[in-house]
Every structure is written in C-alpha cells, then in structure tokens.
Structure 1
C-alpha cells in the first residue's frame, strides 16, 4: 500500500507538471480618469478602476481563466490574446463577430484556455473597433524554463501613440465623407510604458532581457538607448539568432526581446528614446513631439540628461541603423515550407465608395462584419441532419473576404500593397514564414510579386506580424495545422475599421467535431441581441440552398458613379476651397471699401450703357436700399 501511495504521489507530480498551473483573474472593464502625457486628462479603459492594466505572466502548459465583466455602460467590449495560438480553443481568440459575440454592458464573458507549448512576449487587447486605443491593453508573457540565452533581470517596455479624444469620437470624423483622402487621425503624443518622461531603474554591469511591445493603434516607432547596443533574441514569440543593433524599428502589434548589458559605471544616467515614424503621418502638427525622451536611471541622485530636441528627428532617424526584419533567422532553423497547396492572392487598395467614405479593399472587397460571428456559423452549419454545410465557402458571406482551407494544407498569402502607406499585417492563430518582402515602390511603378525572379530564403524569418512597404509586397507561408476561424488584418486599427481584413476558415469540419461553445458564450450573444445560428446573413435550414442563401447579409456600399475617384474628390475639394477664397478676395479687396453712394452711381452707369445699347432710356432704374442691395424702381 505504501508503494502504491508513493507511485500515486509521483504520478500526481508528473500530471501537475504536464497540466501546469491555473491562473484566475476577475477583471471589470471600467473607465478611469488619467492623464498619460501630462497634457490632457481623459477617460481611459482599465481593469477594476485602475490603469495601466497589469502584465499577465504564465508558463508553458498553464491554464488561464479570465472573467471579464463589461462595466462600460455605453459600449461593448472583447479581449484578444495577440499571438496566442489558441489550439483547441478558437472560441477564446476574441475578435467580435469573428469568433465571438460582443460583450454587452453588464455582461461577463469567461476566457478559459491553455497556453500550450508557446513561450515569449505577447499582449492582450480589446478587439472591438479601435477600443484598445482608449487603454484596454496589456502585456502577456509566457516564461520559459530553459532560455537559450543568459540574463540577470527582465523588464517590459510598451510603446504607443496617444490621442486626447476617445476613439468613437475620432472615428466619426475619420470615417466621413469630409475626409475624402482617408487620412489617418494624427495622435497628440507618444507614450512609453503608458506615460511620458518615464525612467527605467537599472543596476550597473547587469544583463537585462528587455521585452518591447508596440501597443499602439497606428504608428511604427524607432527605439534606442544612447551609448548602448541591443541584441535581438526574440520576435513575436520566436527565438532568433542573436543580432546586435543600435536600435529597433517596431510596427504596431510586433514584439522584440533584446538583451541590454548596462554600463559598469553608475555615476551617469542615459537617455532612452522612442521616435514616431513621421513617414506614416499625412501632416506634421507643429506641437507633435515625434522624439520622446525617457531615461535609463543608474543613480537617482544624479541629474537626468536633457531631453533630445524634437526638431532634430530627421537627423536622429538618419543616424540609426535598425535591422531589416526580413534578415532575421529563427534560432531553431526551420526550412522553408513546401510549395503551397492553396494560394490567397490579395491586391490591396484604398477607395471611396458610394457613401463618400474611404475604405480599404482586398480585391475590390472591404471587410464587413457578418450578422452571425463566423465561428458560430461553422458550429451551426455542422449541426443539421441534411449534412455538414460548414465546408461551403459561400455561407460565410460575400463581404467577409472569407477563404476556406483544408486541414494541414500549406497556405501561401501573396499581398500586393497598391497604396503609398506602410501596413503591418497580423495573422491570428499562427506564425508564418515571410518568404519574400519587397522594398518600397512608387504609385507609378509599384513592386508587384513575380515568382519568376525571386529566390526564397532557406530559413525564412518567422513571426505573426510583418510590415509591407509602400507600393510593395509580402509573401507569407504557413501550415494549416490549427483548425479555427482566424482573422488576418492590418494592425493599424484605423485601417481595420476601414475594412482591411480577411477571414481564414481553417478545417471547418474539424472545428465543430473537436471543439465546442460554452453556455456562457451563447448567453453573451443573447445579451448583445446577436444571432448565433445560421450563415453570414443569419439564414439556415436543412439544405445546401438554405445555407447558401445570403439574402439580407451585410454588404459594402456600391462603387462611386463613373468619373468619381479619390483624386476627383480631392480636386473638387481644392477647387471649392479656391472658389470660396476667390469670392472672399473679391469682396475683401474690391468691395469692402466701396461706399453706398459710389456703388449706386456705378450700377446706374452700367444700366445707362445697357439702355444705350438697346436703344431705350432706362437710366436710374435701379438704386440701393439701406442694406446696400440693388432694388428696381
């Protein structure tokens, strides 16, 4: 009996080690008054009446339970765990109307999942509109028991831009016919660790693992520490061969982990600088600080160096030499995947549609959310006695940019950016190999992907968020080994609001056989008054015809009438402004100083001339009244 007890205890230890620890969090999403940049107090969205939000730390195989209660009385919410694969738990991925219904005010949604065998730097954020720009975001770290590098301490740095207005108000003016170019909202500031003028306290002669996350809505940023080198060791949860650089360039959604060896001397403090990529901004407001200075603090009693001058940002950027992400090589070298079984070719453009608003389109289609969350369509389409309708691609909608792929297929995404902007694209549920990435092109001569003149790398870079250059292309490849509904979208959230997304429905026949929805999940739909059965239009039945019926689905606005283009709108706007200014100029310089008597004489003289021309005597037939208006006698 004693031997059996010992064996049982040993088995319990083994099982506990395999299953990991359970972390339970009770988060109430609440408004919190804050002043992140020290210039403007506003509402931010925090947890349990506190902001910034906490960093979540777990280990491989740990279980996470988050009870998220929406106490925001005026809006829905959700939570996405950026970079986590969610294997076997697709319903916990978080984007509303993709894998779940929105969480209505007063409702609690339970996120319950295991982190599987991932390690590295991730983050969580709302996936309801551009809501995380209002503060609903935080860092999510999966610690490793066996790091392939050595360090003494670990810290986190978040970067992002900051707006003084809340995102619903910003979106009203952004998604408007009065913004015909689709110009992105310009932020008022940038933040480091959700504040300005922050300090990072360090010890001398110490190696730090610094996890850097761009949690912003819009701009990529440069990051560097004066007089220090950074050694990149991880990107997006993937260990890479160490590369020493003077700075990094990090797009929204991306993560970099770097090793920093602090100085041996502890008598001086150093600058830590983040710089907004000005090329992403349509205009540069004179009060916007592109260059933000924080400090690495060795000695609290020592003076902090003066902040760097904002007007020298061009010089600062020219002096930096960040690594091109395409050159990074995974530490555990993985050969390039075989040729694709299924190719998704995407041509991205920005266009004004019939409502006068600028939208982002893939192959002439902008993403419009379905009436039923796509994952719930998968489940309900597999429940009917008439057959499994989940593999019928068209049931997921004509405006959700949906692609249905089979289990374990090799998928290739070719994305041609026919836009002069930079766009970081993120794939849910997977990392991908970046097998090709072009330099910047021009509007007249964009760089379009042509496989005949490309040599693919033997060991491609792997990550989950990659930036495509202006008028350039990227080619991504991954294996469809994680059944689920996965969003692929631009992580400039203003562009996602414009519809820059596709939906990949991966092995739908496996999803509803291997996974399930909780009662809590369905209750969230009921509370939000969102249907949870049917195709993208909410239609269903016992036949192929019933499920293929998309009558009543959400669709994009029709195209503009022929002859109307974005450039046409701009030209019309410029001409209109010029005309208004011209009329004002005529009044200002031609009429303002003319007195009533002289004006009356001028009008009468004109009619005398007209009368002479017509052979009639109609002089003095008009005069001016007390308001200066011409009246007929």
Structure 2
C-alpha cells in the first residue's frame, strides 16, 4: 500500500511539473552594433535584434526553450552554447561548433530546442571561433519555486562581471610569431553588468538574492559588498548548504548566488566591489583600473563614493574556499571509478614558432566532421576512440560508469576548467587553499596527484561545472556518464581554448545512436558551411580507421631544440629573408640621377686608364 501511495505521489508531482511548464520562444537576429561600455572607446559588438547588451533569458525549471537564431553578421560564423545546461537527450543543442553542430554561416538560420530540467544561474555565449569576447554573452536564469531558499528573499538581481577589450578578437595578435611566450592579451577595462557605475536599488531591512556571473574571457575577479556579509546558496547551478562569507573569487564562467540583508539605516550607499586578479596579468598598463565600485543604492540623494580598495585584499582576507561547500542534496562521494582519465596541462610552442596549449602534449585541433556526427554515423566503431581523430583528445565513456578525471598542471598559471553537459564532484585539490593558491612560487615543481597517498576525500564533495586548477597543482573530479552525448572539456580562458586546451568526451555513443535525432536545419547548416556531417574525423565514410586527410596542428619542435632556440631560429630566418629581400630590392631599384652620373664618371675613368695601359 505504501509503495502505491509513493507511486501516486510521484505521478502527481510529475503531472504538476508538466502543467507548470511553458514554452519560451525567442527570435535572435545577430547583427553588429556599436557600443562604448567603459566610456573609453566605441567598437563593434555582436547584438541581438539590434541591441546590446544581449537579453537576459529567464525561464522556470521544466520549461521548453526554443531559440531561432539568424546570422545577420555578414562576415562571421556563429553558434550559441547554453553554458551549464545538461542537454540530456538533446546533446545536439549544446552549441560548440565542430563538436556538436556545424557553424551557423552568415545569412542562414538555426533553431535550438531543448527542455530545462535543472535550476540555478547559467549563461549563454558564442562557441565558434572564440567570439564571445566580442560581446556575445548574457545571463540565463532558471527559476525554481522549490529551491530551499526561495522563501527567504524579497527580490533578486543578476549581475555580470567581465573583462573588456577595445579590439575585436580577430585583431588581437595572440597565436602569433610576435608572441612566442603565449602572453595573454591584457584587457583594456573591467565591466559590471556590461557597463560601469551601476546602482542597484534596495530597501532597508530586506533580504535579497544576488546572482553573480563572470562572463569574461580571461581574468578572475574578487567580489565583496562593502560592510555587508552574505550567505552562499548556489554555485554553478548547484544549491549548497548555507555558508557565510565576506569575499569570493569568481573565475571566468563561474557563478555564485548569495543572500544578503540590507541595513536598517538609509543614510548612505554601499559599494559592490570587484577586483581583478592581477596575478593573471603579465603586465599592468598605467591606464588599466583593476578595481571597480558599483553600488547598493539605499538613498539616491546620498553620495556614491568609490571604495578605497586594497588590491592585495586576498592576502589580508582570503576569499571563501569553495572546496568546503556542501551541496544541499548531499550527494555522497562517487566511489570506485571505472574510467580514469589523466590529463597533464602544459604550454609551449610548435615548429611554426607560435604558442599553443596541450593536454598530454597534444593540442586540440577540430575534426573535419563534428564529433557528434562521427559518433552517430560510425556504427559499432563509434566506441573506438581512433575514429574521432588523433588531435581531438577524445575519450569514449561507457554508459553510467563513474568517470574520474585527474588534472595535473605543469604550467605556472591557474586554469578554470569547464565540462559541458554535466556538473562534477571535486574530490581532491592540491595545494590546499591559502594565500599562494592562485600564484605559487616559480620555484615550485609540478605536483601530481598520488592515488595511493592523498588527503581524505570529502563525504559530500562540492559540485560545479567550472573548477580552478591551481598553478603547478592538481585537481581530481568525478561524474557519472549518465548523459549520452559529446561533451567538450576545456579551459574557459578563451585564449587558452583558442590555443587548443581542450578534450572531447564521447559519452555512450551506441546509446546516442538509439536516442539522438538531428533536425534537418542542423544538416542544412553543415551544407551551407561546406562541412561534412558523416564519417570519421577525416570525413572518411568508407574506412573509418583511415584518417588520411584529417586536420592536423603544426608539428612538434624537433628533438634537441629548446623553445627559446626554435623561436630564435624562426626570427633569425625571418630576419635573414627580410635582409635578402632588402638587398634584392635595393639592387633592382632604378638609379637616381646623381647615382647615374657617378657611375658614368667611374666608367669613363676606367676607360681612360685602360687606353693608357
């Protein structure tokens, strides 16, 4: 009898969810618009329906979302990634070009259609040719009246923090002979809600929910509210046990939701303070302002004074350690992983003298056929990692197995890693959190994870979809392969993604073949882009193990050459060719009148001397 009551209860809950669900349909016409968000320089940005910033999308858990995208940019391919959404059953709607779809070419349309079966704070952005720093990003909020904190606040706000470049991505020389060290481009400014000097109106003695999203391309930021503490209740779409904090560190693509209660007095306004993590920057121009003050507006008649910010605030008051967060659902530690993937991060150059990023000494190079389409057309061979190409860092996962990814950082910089279509448990992290966590000494050697000698794993590990890999440190994450599809795993510093710091997880490919049906307009996008949509990574449909013609990166530096040596060689060759070209040009150039007269005098003198002899 009890079992029957439980079944009826579950059925009633399901029917209630279906009844509450709505269809949210949007039409996006992507075009160039002009914007000047920092007041320093106007530039082109990618707008939706003639406006920028892009619209904030707000839906309820269970809603069906349909977005019709028309590419009116004229000169750029595009796509939309719905960052943090699982896309369970709709992996083809995830958005990364040449991974789960073909790019949307100028003058063509593409429809995203999926159901949101989760809650929390997300965002959407371009995932084609590294274009979201050109303004193509905005919040995507999923409301849930059943959230444990839903009755504890009066109103909510969603805000973004981001870095900003005055030049378009295509005009920034990064993977270039002139930048052999791979130094990331320094932003020109930092924005809050895609602008500056924002005022958020509040009432006294009132509790609010604030959602904070780092939509930047590179730089993490610290955040605090002047003279206010707050309570963390969500990270990356995962509700957490309440944790009090006064300062948080938000890497690019990470999100936090916090509750805060305003003061009783309205005699002044208080700063919403952001501080860029200067450790990530190779240099700080005199014109770059690292800290920004925006405000909680208690009283519009009171002054709005910038907060006197200490740039090394983390040394004096360390940010909250997200590793200590406990998910509200208390999902226990995933035990006994059956698939272990070891990935070592490094940075370096290839034999073309340009800087790249590597997993296990391999830089990601996109296949000719999007990996999802290979999985759907490879038949039984879809379980063979070879068909996805030698240069895509592909790993095939069995359905429902527990997967462990061990990340080791051989680089002196931190890296925020994002897994598409999942969140994951963070079961180990080294070094322990402290003032040197994001900026270890140059003398520290890489610290690999030792599965036989490590600190105890948490009973209820933190879950999120973006985690920071410390410099010279390591991270261990775990998740269940319960979402058949193709999931990209990559550093969310967009410059590092551009350098090839990515891997591809091919999850339950035979299950995909049974369940995934690609809409016709997706194939039409491939035809318009001239991208094949069947066969292996080389577009071979006859012999799936023949990868002749696959896309390849530049070759590794020859043995015996150091990075400095190859750069010196490349620049020496350039200098030599430039010198030869100059000599050739000079030799072939016509003589001036004075030069011609001097030559004639020399010839005449020589003739006289010869005659006398």
Normalising by structure 2, report the TM-score.
Answer: 0.88
Q: What's the CA shift string for 1:483-507, capped at 9, x where partnerless?
A: 0000000000100000000000000
Following superposition, the deviation at residue 570 of structure 1 comes to 7.0
CA distance in 1, matches of 2:358, 2:443: 17
Matches within 5 A, 1:52-201: 52-116=53-117, 118-149=118-149, 150-170=152-172, 173-201=173-201
Aligned partner (choices 381, 390, 398) of residue 390 of structure 2:
398
Which residue of structure 2 lines up, in the alignment, with residue 378 of structure 1? 375
Question: Distance between the aligned counterparts of 2:226 and 2:85, measured in 1?
Answer: 33
Q: List aligned pairs for 1:239-318, cutoff 5 A.
A: 239-308=239-308, 312-314=310-312, 316-318=313-315
Q: Could you tell me which residue of structure 1 aligns to residue 348 of structure 2?
A: 351
Alpha-carbon contact 1:104-1:524 (below 8 Å) kept: yes
Deviation for aligned residue 1:363:
0.8
Cα gap change, 1:345 to 1:256, in 2 (>3 Å):
same
Q: Is the 8 A contact 1:293 1:308 kept in 2?
A: no
Q: State the shift of 1:567 in Å.
A: 3.9
User: Quick check: 559-568 or 286-295, which moved more?
Assistant: 559-568
Instruction: Determine the structure 1 residue equivalent to 2:231.
Output: 231
Q: Equivalences for 1:467-478 in 2 at 5 Å?
A: 467-478=468-479
Shift of residue 569, structure 1, vs aligned partner: 5.7
Shift of 1:375: 0.4
RMSD in angstroms over aligned alpha carbons?
A: 2.2
Classify 1:306/1:343 alpha carbon distance in 2 versus 1 (closer, same or farther; 3 Å).
Answer: closer
TM-superposition CA deviations, 1:44-101 (whole Å, max 9, x none): 1110000011111111211000001000111100000000000000000000000000
- Counterpart check, 1:426 vs 2:418: yes
Alpha-carbon offset, residue 325 of structure 1? 1.3
Highest CA radius of gyration, 1 or 2?
1
Matched with 2:581 is: none
Separation (CA, whole Å) in 2 of partners of 1:317 and 1:390: 48
Write out per-residue CA displacement over residues 515-555 of structure 1, whole angstroms, 9 at most, x where no aligned residue: 110001000001111111111000012xxxx1111000011
Contact 1:419 1:443 (8 Å CA) reproduced:
no
Instruction: String of CA shifts for 1:279-331, please: whole Å, max 9, x gaps.
Output: 0011111111111111111111111113536xx423x3433332111111111
Q: What's the CA shift for 1:457?
A: 1.2
Other structure's SS at 2:452 match = helix
Instruction: Give the alignment partner of residue 553 of structure 1, picking from 550, 556, 568.
Output: 550
Which secondary structure state, in structure 1, belongs to the residue aligned with residue 544 of structure 2? Answer: helix
Structure 1 residue 573: Cα displacement: 10
What's the secondary structure of 1:452's corresponding residue? coil
Give 1:338's aligned residue: 335
Paired residue secondary structure (2:383) = coil
Q: Deviations over 1:101-125 (max 9, x none)?
A: 0000011110000012x10000000
Map Cα deviations across residues 114-139 of structure 1 (whole Å, 9 max, x no partner): 012x1000000000122111111111
Q: Is the 8 A contact 2:124 2:139 kept in 1?
A: yes
- In 2, Cα distance between equivalents of 1:332 and 1:271: 33
Shift of 1:565: 2.7
Contact 2:323 2:426 in 1 (8 A): yes
- Residue 408 of structure 1, CA deviation: 0.5
Q: Which moved more, 1:18-27 or 1:242-251?
A: 18-27
Alignment-derived partner of residue 489 in structure 2: 488
Task: Please tell me whether the aligned partners of residues 404 and 478 of structure 2 are also in contact (alpha carbons under 8 angstroms).
Answer: yes
Q: Which runs of 5+ in 2 are unaligned?
A: 1-10, 432-436, 574-598, 600-605
Asked whether the equivalents of residues 353 and 570 of structure 2 are also in contact (C-alpha less than 8 Å), the reply is no
TM-score, normalised with respect to structure 1: 0.85
Report the CA distance shift for 1:16/1:306 in structure 2 as closer, same or farther (over 3 A).
Answer: closer
- CA distance, structure 2, for counterparts of residue 317 and residue 335 of structure 1: 31
* Deviation (angstroms), 1:575: 11
Corresponding residue for residue 603 of structure 1: none
Aligned to 1:363: 360
**Cross-structure match for 1:208:** 208
Conserved? CA contact 2:80–2:127, under 8 Å: yes
Aligned in 2, Cα 1:263/1:16: closer, same or farther, shift over 3 Å?
closer
- In structure 1, the partner of 2:404 is 412
- What are the equivalent positions in structure 2 for 1:587-602 lying under 5 Å apart? none
Change (3 A) 1:19 1:532: farther
**1:511-526 paired onto structure 2 within 5 Å:** 511-526=512-527
Count of aligned positions? 556
